[in-house]
Structure 1
Amino acid sequence: MIADSELILNADGSIYHLNLLPEDLASTIIFVGDPDRVGEVSCYFDRIDVKKGKREFITHTGVLRNKRISVISTGIGTDNIDIVFNEIDALVNIDFATRTLKEQLTSLDIIRIGTSGSIQGNIRMGTILASEYAIGFDALMQYYVKNYSEEEKDIQFTVINHFGTLGFTPYIGSASKRLLDQIAGELPKGITMTAPGFYGPQGRSMRTRNVYPDLIQKANAFQQQGRSITNLEMETAGIYALANMFGHHALSINAILASRLHDAFADNPKEIIDRAIRFVLERI
């Protein structure tokens, strides 16, 4: 039996942060960072049946072409991904009445639609890119036991050697091969680098001095069996690693709004994000 302090429920029986009941959640879920972007996705649904929210976690569940879909805003960063992932897994795999694991576990499909900056010169702003793997430069997976595939171990080994004296151990997560084939077949693919912040952790400096001042240049030069680090953002590695750990399927679709090599930002970000949303919804 799972203790009250581990599985925290609200007075109405909903999960603590997401404020959702098990019946509120679909088995296909779209993650977005920005709470305002939830409506930008759900406006394409044929109907919306559930609208709930608490703090930065907004959920709309509805139907598109007879398929039930939930859209959840996670907020920024893998610390929030930790909350959202544990709670959606609890919603489908724990019996709230008995506080025990269900005998038959459910595997969810989770697609992140997020914004990102490219760190390769051949990836233009406006590109829609799929993350085949993700490297976590944050601390989330220092707290979990995850089984790594041989490919993930090889990438991790190469990352550690390439970046040199890091004060932490990067972790690796993989996209669902099924979702890659289903949704991202024709998209450019790469390795995504996930940072725990927007400024120093992504090599930005306005009035600060960074411990890793050449982070972008190092990432740009990374190669592993023909793969390169293509883009930089703040959630994908946490999503992939937790999905791999829990047995869910996850895919991150990145709308490239910035070029870190060319110090440029797109002048039409809303249009690029909407194109990524429509691309995913057409294939989901």
Structure 2
Amino acid sequence: MSKASSELILNADGSIYHCNIRPEHLADIVITVGDPNRVEKVSLHFETIEHKSSKREIVTHTGTYKGTRMTVISTGMGTDNIDIVFSELDALANINLETGENNPEFRKLSFVRLGTSGALQADIPVDSLVIGSHGLGLDGLLHYYQGSEEFMMAEVEDAFIKHVNWSPKKARPYLVEASSTLMEKLASDETKQGITATACGFYGPQGRFLRLAPNPIDINDYLTSFQYEDLRITNFEMETSAIYGLAKMMGHEALSLNAIVANRILGEFSTDSYATVDKMIVYALDRLAK
């Protein structure tokens, strides 16, 4: 079925509406970052850059690193932005933008998020790298899509809901596993692994108390103490669960690698977070280019 122009929205030059790129600008390996300024920090390592574009907070550079073609794109903060960027990148790969019809052959993308995050375990030091083995969504995004339950882990979700005494007024938490293919590429003794929790905000939803009290006020204690078999929650951020969920539903691979710039349990913050982010970028690029 052809998509209506109000659903598949294009710019005057034929590029897709928000991401502002055309299919030929998109590599099969896609690095996502939240901060638009981090796009250039990644692409500075490229040998060649074939395309650059920007619109609002979405900046895109496509080029090659050690002979491997890659796209790096900024999403901005939050799962709502992930919904926009991932939907449009999938459309670039798998929909004919001229006819609005699905392409006859499926094109699989590999998404790697390079983000910053706060640790929720005392034994995960600042300046370390953490891979999200799973994404725990506290944001509710996946529930807006039919068939999303197929990719969720209901038993672990139920255990978490009971442990936290999760309010029925909030969206049901969902858990999605990372790509095993990308895990093999990026995991090493230089990384730690665990569940990455994804909040719908930075302050109250992550237990920060300025003038408004979080609900529950001790959410971080609940997250830190949760364990299901060998799974525990290692860190808190704002994008991973949507990345994992949408990628799984669309048939793509996805993995989230985070530089730990704070430890919420110890109340510590990195003294040189920029160096940690740079270390993460080079680590990921080298492993993706192998």
Q: Which amino acid letter does the alignment assign opposite residue 259 of structure 2? A: A
2:19 maps to 18
1:8 maps to 9
Residue 252 (structure 1) shift: 0.2
Cα distance between partner residues in 1 of 2:194 and 2:166 = 24
Q: Does residue 33 of structure 2 align to residue 32 of structure 1?
A: yes
Cα distance between partner residues in 2 of 1:69 and 1:144 = 29
Contact 2:117 2:237 survives alignment (8 Å): yes
Backbone CA RMSD of aligned residues? 1.0
1:107 maps to 108
* Structure 2 unpaired stretches of 5+: none
Cα distance between partner residues in 1 of 2:259 and 2:106 = 32
Contact 2:78 2:239 survives alignment (8 Å): yes
Residue 211 (structure 1) shift: 1.5
Cα distance between partner residues in 1 of 2:166 and 2:24 = 47
1:97 maps to 98
Q: Does residue 174 of structure 2 align to residue 171 of structure 1?
A: yes
Q: Does residue 54 of structure 2 align to residue 53 of structure 1?
A: yes
- In the TM superposition, 1:78-89 aligns within 5 A as 78-89=79-90
Contact 1:147 1:245 survives alignment (8 Å): no
C-alpha offsets along residues 232-282 of structure 1, whole Å, 9 cap, x if unaligned? 000000000001110100000010000101112111000000000010011
Cα distance between partner residues in 2 of 1:185 and 1:264 = 25
2:142 maps to 141
Q: Among the aligned pairs, what percent are the same residue?
A: 44
Q: Which amino acid letter does the alignment assign opposite residue 63 of structure 1? A: T
Residue 10 (structure 1) shift: 0.5
1:236 maps to 240
Cα distance between partner residues in 1 of 2:266 and 2:254 = 30
Q: Which amino acid letter does the alignment assign opposite residue 259 of structure 1? A: N
SS at match of 2:50: strand
Residue 171 (structure 1) shift: 1.2
Cα distance between partner residues in 1 of 2:77 and 2:166 = 27
- In the TM superposition, 1:158-237 aligns within 5 A as 158-166=159-167, 167-186=170-189, 187-237=191-241
C-alpha offsets along residues 50-100 of structure 1, whole Å, 9 cap, x if unaligned? 000100000000011111100000000000000000000000100011110
- Residue among 259, 262, 265 paired with 2:266: 262
Aligned length: 283
1:274 maps to 278
* Structure 1 unpaired stretches of 5+: none
Cα 1:149–1:246, aligned 2, differ >3 Å: closer, same or farther? closer
Q: Which amino acid letter does the alignment assign opposite residue 185 of structure 2? A: Q
SS at match of 1:100: coil
Cα distance between partner residues in 1 of 2:49 and 2:274 = 22
Residue 110 (structure 1) shift: 0.4
Residue 179 (structure 1) shift: 0.3
Cα 1:225–1:280, aligned 2, differ >3 Å: closer, same or farther? same
1:127 maps to 128
Cα distance between partner residues in 1 of 2:122 and 2:267 = 11
Q: Which amino acid letter does the alignment assign opposite residue 134 of structure 1? A: G
SS at match of 1:188: strand
C-alpha offsets along residues 126-183 of structure 1, whole Å, 9 cap, x if unaligned? 1101000011000211201214357x22221211111113232011121100000011
SS at match of 2:24: helix
Cα distance between partner residues in 2 of 1:153 and 1:220 = 20
- Please give the TM-score of this superposition, normalised by the length of structure 1: 0.98
1:283 maps to 287
Cα distance between partner residues in 2 of 1:165 and 1:109 = 33
Cα distance between partner residues in 1 of 2:175 and 2:18 = 27
Residue 210 (structure 1) shift: 1.7
- In the TM superposition, 1:144-159 aligns within 5 A as 144-145=145-146, 146-149=148-151, 152-159=153-160
C-alpha offsets along residues 24-49 of structure 1, whole Å, 9 cap, x if unaligned? 11010000000000000000000111
Cα distance between partner residues in 2 of 1:3 and 1:22 = 19
